[in-house]
Chains A and B, each alone.
Chain A
Amino acid sequence: METLAFLAYVLYLAIIVGGGFVAVTNPNLVRALIGLVAAMFGVAGMYFLMNAPFVGLMQLLIYVGAISVLIFFAIMLTRPPAGGEERATSRRRPLAFVAAATPVVLLGAVCLRAFKQTVDVPAETGIKELGQGLLGTYGLAFELISVVLLVAMAGAVLLGFKRREEA
């Protein structure tokens, strides 16, 4: 990896780790959401760095544009009257650390040993090839994800209805 790319990588990694740390530890949920958005921007930068601009743009559109707004709605609709703070959780932290560190160490060892990198500079795949794959080889997955999105939307609307006798 060249020096400039490595510098960009370190910058994006710092954004990801910093944002993710804020997202999981800040007791204020709105600040946690801002951290999550920062981490998503870092991941989009990683996509651009590995020569996948289409996925990077989709990351910005879907995650930063849509999902963060959904989570913001969830925060606003559930905010308790006395501020949206979570109570301090000191007892669970060590257990949570163990639960997170174990799979990371195991999978890190696997990644370090098992996967061999063969391509130095990732080749660019045009949107044309992606579209052909989406409608040709992987058409079933494309149709299935649209059905999943439709069902999720219908289910959310159904769950959101208040029953008339309750209201």
Chain B
Amino acid sequence: MNSLFLFHLAGLALLGLGLFGLVQRKTLVGMLISVELLLNGAGLSIVASAKLTPADDVLGQLSSLLIMGLAAAEATLVLAIILVVLRRFGSVETDTIATLRD
């Protein structure tokens, strides 16, 4: 059990929690919180892999920054989409908004 696997373990914990929440949550906001957990785990695993193996360290840290930027863009867009869905359906529960067309 080396420290690389320990850091990967933390990333895996975030992955598992995020997937669990993504399936189990019933509102779009709850699913957004779960996706942020998933992205955090991905960044952690990438930096750990770059730091503790011969891989390029700069590449790992910059990939993690890229993930943070993508997460910010995704959160912005999801906020706008949530507002549009709320205006259109009056609710953000996934059971209510399951119709494609009516």
Which of A51, A62, A162 contacts B72 (CB under 8 A)?
A62
Contacts of B6 in A (CB 8 A): 1, 9
Main SS at interface, chain A: helix
B residues less than 8 Å from A77 (CB atoms): 82-83, 86
Number of interface residues of B (CB under 8 A): 72
Are A99 and B75 closer than 8 Å at their CB atoms?
A: no
A78/B37 in contact, CB under 8 A? no
A46 touches B66 (CB 8 A): no
**Set B51, B73, B87: member contacting A148, Cβ < 8 A:** B73
* B-chain residues with CB within 8 Å of residue A21 when the two chains form the complex: 17
Contact A153 B10 (CB under 8 A): no
Report the interface size class on chain A. 35 or more
Q: A73 contacts which chain B residues (CB < 8 A)?
A: 79
A111-B59 contact given A32-B30, A100-B19, CB 8 Å threshold: no
A4 at interface by CB-CB < 8 Å:
no
* A111 and B8 within 8 A (CB): yes
Chain B positions within 8 Å of A95 at CB level: 23
A–B pairs, 28, beta carbons within 8 Å: A13-B9, A17-B17, A23-B34, A24-B18, A24-B24, A36-B37, A39-B37, A39-B40, A46-B7, A47-B44, A59-B43, A63-B40, A63-B68, A67-B36, A70-B76, A71-B33, A78-B86, A93-B24, A104-B19, A107-B12, A111-B5, A115-B49, A122-B57, A141-B66, A148-B73, A149-B73, A153-B76, A159-B80
